[in-house]
Structure 1
Amino acid sequence: MTLEKLTIHHEKDQQNNFVLLEPGAYFNPNQLVYSKSVTWAPSYTTGASKYRPGFEMLYQSSAPETLTLELFFDTYARGGAGGDLLGLLPSFGAGPGAESVVKATDAVASLAKQDIELHRPPVCRLSWGAFTLFQGVLQQASRTYLLFLDDGTPVRATMSCTFVEHPGRPLVSDEQHSPDVAKKHVVRPGDTLMGIAAALYGDRSAWRHIAEANRIDDPRRISPGQTLTIPRIR
């Protein structure tokens, strides 16, 4: 039975057109670290007693999930193919055809660069066999070169990568989405007009519709507890 390899597919030239990253990971990571955080803020109340605290915690927002993993690259003993399974066995001479690992690490690092057609970095899908590990954008990547040939060619490296969740909808929508009917929204601590527009319309730039409907001249001046009319976008 052949050992499945972790693969990375990324958008290329157009949205949702995913292609395989080549060269990809040489060895599977030994761990996957998923992280998720939620922001809460205290809301202070009156009439506190030993049976009733002077505050309650109000939900603010959820940060996107992240996936952190370390990729390993080793061409020192590969001889163009194969090599030691984990890259951990001692090597006493470069295999025939040993080449730089820079091409492979550059390919991964390029996922954080802007695609000239998309005008943004690509969304990536990380899979291991039939299992989709994560869909997101590369937020951070650091390279460590561990072994060099006599001429300075790096032949062994690790890359620590952090991907941030992307839910699968366009980063920039061509269509403005709106509620079927006008709604009311009570402002919570930490709310902004742009954030409310992103949550209810799927478009941060639609905050102007909310400002106009509520006669708000300064979009920064909204207060917790304030009731806003959320108009339908026609």
Structure 2
Amino acid sequence: MSRTRFVLIQPSHAGNVGAAARAMKVMGFDDLVLVQPRWDDVLERDETLERASGATDVLRQARAVDTLDAALSGVSYVMGTVMTPRDFGPPTYAPREHLASVAPTGQGVAFLFGSERYGMRNEDVYRCHAALRIPVSPDYGSLNLAAAIQVIAYEWRQALGGFDLPPVPAPERADAAAVAGMLRHWEQALVDIGFLDPAAPKKLMPRLNQLFNRAQPTPEEIHILRGVAKAMAEAAKKPKP
């Protein structure tokens, strides 16, 4: 039984088929079925391949069928994407809310997407166990087919546990002695340029100390800051014109 299938009903734009394959692949899905596509050779058309942007393996194993029955073979739970809930149709949910409850069941699922021109037909919606409505702006709710597939694929992947991102190595932090040495360098430079009065320093240096402790500079940044202090001191020594 296929774990996850994406079904496009009567897709009319070859580019959307390629973009759908790309959207699926980045979320780790590869079972794509087209029901009565406009083009018999849609899986090999130039626009399809271009928009797939490397997801050609998904296209190679995708298949076109004549009926929705054939597309849903081996699937036990069907969800259709709709903008408007249908009278007498299945209950309508936001994807995140519903998919979190579906994921633990272990069922083979299919997501149905209607034609770009008129969306899903009522008879196709009635075949579904649930309808999914993506929350969008009430002022403009028109989603491109591939964009809708990307949203649903992302939400389903998250419901299944998501992908672990590679750990980001923590940057090396300068040690306390390096920060203290840099601050002494800056203190002298600030005196040299007349910004700091050593007779009345107030709380300037403790404040700078706290600032750099919060910033947690790296050794390279300490080197840059020392270079700035050196340049300030040298500029202060130059005779004024």
TM-score when scaled to structure 2?
0.20
Higher relative contact order (CA 8 A, sep 6+): 2
Of the two, which has the highest radius of gyration? 2
TM-score when scaled to structure 1?
0.21
Higher share in strand = 1
Higher share in helix = 2
